[in-house]
Structure 1
């Protein structure tokens, strides 16, 4: 059986929880899984799915009801590495956000029609999540999300670069 150290959840149990069975046989019902419990799918048989919990307990469930976890973002297998000062990326994000704000203001004031707004904002993509001292910043030129706390950027995940019309980066 899988040890807890090898446990890598692939799914979660739905909010209503899930009944379990000892085998893929409706006559052999067992315990109920808690709502939103992470589980690892290890086997399927028709609509039946064998799952393993973090404590290595295994059971069969109705696999159609499991909620698939998204795949781990590419690039997260490497350890977090401290990189550059975040100020240049913050300035680029601020500039892009300012450009978008101006387009929204022009559209809201009637100086741009919807077609012009869409045309001028096409390819403009930025991303930032600020939560107190922590920040997650998207740098599309490098195809990376960075985690920032204080004055250091750490690579968090890589992303597929967007087609911005600027050619390969």
Structure 2
């Protein structure tokens, strides 16, 4: 049974996640299923206390949880400036067309793997369509924007990576190793993302 006021803030990684009754490695409990929505309600160092939709609670290595994007700006909070979404939509469409062309040539044997990587290197495309709502990645300004069809608003922008935390003193060794691997992989592939407000200060021209 789902708790009425349950609002997930994170999901469990695709490989599942070990859990403990308390922030103590000597008190393990039932592990969490992969991609399970959870609500992070407390922190203790690198430990995090989560609550599931049915009200069950446990402690996990909070560094391994995957954050759920926050809701787009409410309609009752209009932007101070309006950005035309069409130029960004055109750039995203062009980038996707170029990637598809390279992928088709790779599938047809006209490109080898190295040439495909060279041709697509540096491309960053992101599109999420949900009815009238669209989330687009703006590579020029290194940000995600939300579009309702008529205007753009900054949803998330990339910033400097957070400094590495010390190894947790209360997390099991296998969890520490998994966390370190995830952090190193993320650091190599992309920078951290920070959420921003919708006051218009961080918006570009779309």
Same fold (TM over 0.5): yes
Aligned length: 133
User: Do structure 1's residue 137 and structure 2's residue 136 form an aligned pair?
Assistant: yes
1:86-140 CA-partner distances (Å, limit 9, x unpaired): 0000000111111111111111121111111111111111111111111000101
User: Do structure 1's residue 68 and structure 2's residue 65 form an aligned pair?
Assistant: yes
Partner of 1:92: 91
Partner of 1:147: 146
Write the distance in 2 (CA, Å) between the matches of 1:119 and 1:101: 14
Q: Conserved in 2, the CA contact under 8 Å of 1:11 and 1:41?
A: no
Partner of 1:122: 121
Specify which structure has the higher proportion of strand. Answer: 1
Partner of 1:159: 158
1:49-69 CA-partner distances (Å, limit 9, x unpaired): 68597xxxxx9x544599635
Q: Conserved in 1, the CA contact under 8 Å of 2:39 and 2:50?
A: no
Q: Conserved in 2, the CA contact under 8 Å of 1:10 and 1:68?
A: no
Write the distance in 1 (CA, Å) between the matches of 2:128 and 2:48: 37
Write the distance in 2 (CA, Å) between the matches of 1:19 and 1:124: 41
Name the TM-score, length of structure 1 as normaliser. 0.56
RMSD: 4.5
Write the distance in 2 (CA, Å) between the matches of 1:80 and 1:159: 23
Unpaired stretches in structure 1, ≥5 consecutive residues: 1-8, 27-34, 54-58, 164-169
Task: Answer with 1 or 2: which has the greater Rg.
Answer: 1
Partner of 1:32: none
Give 1:42 deviation, angstroms: 4.5
Q: Conserved in 2, the CA contact under 8 Å of 1:10 and 1:41?
A: no
**Closer, same or farther: CA 90–37 of 1 in aligned 2, 3 Å:** closer
Name the TM-score, length of structure 2 as normaliser. 0.47
